[in-house]
A = this chain, B = another copy of it.
């Protein structure tokens, strides 16, 4: 009798399977949100998030300049902090680097990171640089949050409004325009550049947090995460963590108008739901507070649906033109 588990490979169980197996080695009450939370003193918590980016997997010379790779890496980590309600304190950078990498490439990578970080008064406070056969960037970001204001995935309740803080689908459209420039033939150059910028220079939505707290006032109950792996993924993950369902209204999803110039409405909706990397926040809060919150935000922010008591997570059409459609995580990113 052979033990099949001894020959099991990482590619056999994918990222999710590996994560599940490694959970037992981790502090189980802490892992599972966009970032880890540790109470460091009464009323104040430290929030910590780590991302690893690998050359050829998460960025490549072809579509991403080193400045953009650096910006995006920093932005993704700050977005994880924003998704927990935390203000950033600092980041550390672990760099594995090939000996034949141009020094100017590394400097441009750091230039991109600091350009992003500067917008949010965040510094690189340390790190490590080692030799590696493949360029790898590992960022750990720290933030702090009033312990009563931690935004967790698991706190959504039936009746909550579901808010998105901005348009979705822009980042994926920008990527497609980089890969297939011919898509831009009906698009004016400014519109094209705006979509590409959404992909290359995403902005973590730390700016919406003060508006969120002032909208919630005395009852800061809010659930949420960021939409880095797609809007649909965020809704599904929040629902699963909270043990609830959701109805997302098809025509309330904010999609940039320019997308209709390059693809069908169907495809644009698909990018908005499953494209990923828009780095907006998806937040669930009481409807009255949600209305106040959305009014304080820029164009694009919207209430897109509501949390339901049943477990169904559905894309619905108010006009009944389209049948209900279940939302899934699976069209999001799979890392193996």
- A: residues with CB less than 8 A from B are 5-13, 15, 18-19, 21-22, 25-27, 30-31, 35-36, 38, 40-41, 44, 46, 48-54, 56-58, 89-90, 92-104, 106-107, 110-111, 113-114, 123-134, 136, 138, 140, 142, 144, 335-336
Contacts and interface: CB of A to CB of B under 8 A. Distances in A.
Nearest to A90: B38
A21 B101 CA distance: 14
Given A5-B103, A52-B138, A57-B131, 18 more contacts: A6-B102, A8-B102, A15-B129, A18-B103, A19-B129, A31-B124, A38-B89, A41-B44, A48-B90, A48-B92, A50-B92, A52-B95, A58-B130, A94-B138, A94-B140, A96-B136, A131-B335, A136-B138
Contacts of A21: 103, 106-107
12 contacts: A9-B100, A10-B101, A10-B103, A18-B129, A19-B129, A21-B106, A25-B124, A35-B126, A48-B126, A52-B96, A54-B96, A131-B335
A323 to B, nearest CB: 36
Contact of A51 (B15, B52, B128): B128
Nearest to A33: B126
Nearest to A11: B99
A54 to B, nearest CB: 4
The 8 closest A-B pairs by CB, nearest first: A11-B99, A36-B126, A138-B138, A36-B125, A27-B123, A140-B140, A52-B94, A25-B110
* Residue among A13, A26, A40, A124 having the largest count of chain B Cβ atoms under 10 Å: A26
B25 A113 contact: yes
Contacts of A132: 52, 54, 57, 134, 136
Given A48-B90, A140-B140, A57 B130 contact: yes
Contacts of A97: 10, 18
Given A57-B132, A140-B140, A103 B9 contact: yes
Contacts of A129: 15, 18-19, 22, 52, 335
* Residue among A8, A52, A123 having the largest count of chain B Cβ atoms under 10 Å: A52
A15 B129 CA distance: 7
B51 A111 contact: no
Given A25-B124, A110-B22, A50 B93 contact: yes
Given A22-B107, A110-B25, A134-B134, A10 B100 contact: yes
Contact of A142 (B10, B12, B48): B48
A114 B8 contact: no
Contacts of A90: 27, 30, 36, 38, 48
A150 to B, nearest CB: 14
A116 to B, nearest CB: 12
A153 to B, nearest CB: 14
A99 B9 contact: yes
B6 A104 contact: yes
A286 B206 CA distance: 47
Given A46-B142, A96-B52, A130-B335, A22 B125 contact: no
